[in-house]
Every structure is written in C-alpha cells, then in structure tokens.
Amino acid sequence: MRVCKSRFAVLCLLVLVWLAGDVWGALVSPEVHSDRRVTFRVRATKATNVGVNVQFARGLQGMTKGEGGVWSVTLGPAEPDIYEYSFVVDGLTVSDQANAWVKVWQGATKNLVEVPGAEPMFFSEQDVEHGTVHIHRYRSKSLGVTRGLYVYTPPGYETSGKTKYPVLYLLHGMGDTEDAWTGVGRANVIADNLIAKGKARPMLIVMPYGHTPKTPPDMRSIGRYGAFEKDLIEDVVPYIQKSYRVSADRKNRAIAGLSMGGGQSLTVGLGNLELFGWVGAYSSAVPRGEELDGLLAQPKSVNKQLGLLWVGCGKNDFLFEANKRFIERLKTDDINHVAHISEGGHEWRVWRRYLNEFLPLLFEGEKSGE
C-alpha cells in the first residue's frame, strides 16, 4: 500500500509540474544571442530581489521583474567559452530550473552555458568521428565498496581488431564526481577533435571516482591519498586491463588530474614510476613536506623513467603560490618538466585548455625511458 501511495504522490507531482508548464508557458533560459550576449530568466513571483552570478560578469548582476513574475537580465557580450552561473533569489542561491545542463558538485550545483564563437572551439562538438563514453560500476576490494568510473574509447576502437591502446587515467577535483571530466570538462569531445586532426594519438581515457571512504586505521600510514592509490592500482587498473584492449606497460600509461586530482596524480604517478610514464598536474594540491621529499628523492630516476611531467596553474588560482614553489623545487632538483603558467583561476575554463595542450604530448616515441 505504501508503494501505491508513493507512486500516486509522484504522479500527482508530475501532473502539477505539467500543469504549471501549461499555464505559464516554457521559460527559455539561458538564451544566447548571435552577438554573444546572454539573457537569463527565472520565475520568482513572490521575490523582492533577484540576481545572477555568472563567470563572465563581475559580481552579482541585478535582474528586473516582468510579466508573470519572470525576472530577467541580458549580459555580455562574453568571450566564446563555457560559463558557470546561478541565481540568487532573496539571498538564496538557486539553480536555473529551465536549464538541464548542470555542474554537479558535492557542495553545490551550478548551471552551465556555452557561448559559441565564429569558429568552433576546441571543446565544441564538431563534424568528426566520435568516440564512446562507457559508464561502469566495479567492486573495489581494497576499499570494500562499489564505485563508479567513466571510460572514453576513441573512434574506431570497436573495429580495430586486436589493436591495443595507450591509456590516460584522468582525475577530477575535490567535490566532483567521476562524470566531471565528460559532463563539464568535455574530455571526450576534446579528444575526438584532437584525434581527428592527427594532433593526439588515439587513446583510452579512464575517469575514476577520486574520493574515498574515511581512511581505515590500517591505511593511515600511507598518506592522505593512500586509500585512493590502492584503489587505483589494485582495483581500477586491473579492471581496465581486463575489460579493454590497453597496453600494459608504463610507456603507454599516463595519469593526470586537476586540483585534488592533480595532487593525486603527482603522488601516484611519481610514487609508482614502474607503472606510469607520463604525469600531468593542473592547478594541483601539491604534496608537501616529507611526502614531497620522498617523491622527488631520486631526480635521475624520475628523469629517466618519465616521458613528461607537466605542471600548469593559473595566476589567479588560490593554489598558484604552492604550484610556483613546486616548479622552483623541480628546477632546483634538476627534474625535467614542462611548466605552464597561464591566466585564469581555479576553474574549468583553465583545465579544458590544459587538457587540450596535454593530450598531444602523450605517448610520443620512446620518451618514457627504457
């Protein structure tokens, strides 16, 4: 009986939503104009003060109330890119219910809007062959839980016979989930476009969930990313090796990530040079103290075994100083690396560009040692 009542309640709610849409009409928001201006709309009939926070405009932008209790404002023009935004209704931050494209974050949810340019951007879907994004659930024996991961396979993977591919393990940041790099970062689209132009090798991109349950006592001695490291090495990598045609040697295995994922990439990659030949860190939460000393203890070994150590950070990033010190440390220790200091802050607009620059550098020749 409870199930029936619950279903009836859900049905009533859906009917009310449908009736509301029928009475008020479909609300279009955001609306991107040909001159790259964007109109935002939100219905808040009883509100007295409504605004929008959007990345291309500084500060909260006030909105004007119109017919039917719909508040609106037109902003811009904006440079071609993907932007986050949210509404503030009488002091309460809310998402745009008219826009299904959201950035899911464990602390909050924001909407996304793409402002196109005259030419397609590197992260825009183009008329090229597309790869496939696969969604998996796997049992992590090391953590004792079931977890999720996304896998991108390049165009032609299904028809390439016994061909084995290189693989990049691409990690998200604090608060994100395993779908962040496809849903917000557009890693699959970026890879499609680069591969189509011959600028990057066809590769698999594995995007696991980076957060772990509370570290059990028997794992506390292995560092703040130790539980994730065990899951990645003992569970994720073997799962991928078993499920996909990927090369098993480190010359064809890379790891990279942003923020927390950048710190994990440095920790796992530099700490397991026998497994990874390429490491990328975007706006990373750089390891500190004895942990960092241990990772950089053998510069000659790092230089011999790594094909690439790529470190990038924006000048307005709150982690910029930490990354700048890390780059200076690499210079002092004579560790080969590529340092990329860019404009921008701690945001996806920066990280998409980093991935676009990083992918073409992977798996070239025999750079990753013997």
Q: What is the pLDDT of residues 9-32, one digit of tens each?
A: 444 444 344 334 434 458 999 999
pLDDT of res. 225: 86
Delineate the domains of the chain, giving CATH numbers in brackets.
Answer: 23-115 (2.60.40.10), 132-361 (3.40.50.1820)
Specify the pLDDT at position 346: 97
The predicted pLDDT at position 63 comes to 99
pLDDT of residue 108: 74
| DSSP, res 274 | T
Q: Tell me, what's the pLDDT at 52? A: 98
Q: For residues 347 and 319, is the Cβ–Cβ distance under 8 A? A: no
Q: What is the pLDDT of residue 161?
A: 87
316 in helix, strand or coil?
coil
pLDDT, one tens digit per residue, over 200-242 is 999 999 999 999 986 555 444 345 689 999 999 999 999 999 9
- For residue 105, the model assigns a pLDDT of 78
Q: Which two tokens mark 114? A: 């793409």
Sheet arrangement for strand 70-75: 31-32, 38-43, 70-75, 64-65
pLDDT (0 to 100) of residue 366:
43
**Residue 153, H or E segment:** strand 145-153
Which of 246, 249, 269 is CA-nearest to residue 257? 269
* Count of C-beta atoms within a 10 Å radius of residue 4: 8
- Report pLDDT for 166: 98
| Integer angstrom CA distances of residue 146 from 89, 140, 209, 212, 213 | 38, 6, 11, 11, 11
Alpha helix (H) residue ranges in the chain = 2-24, 180-183, 187-196, 226-230, 237-243, 260-271, 289-295, 299-305, 320-332, 348-358
Q: Which residues of the chain have pLDDT under 50?
A: 1-24, 218-222, 366-370
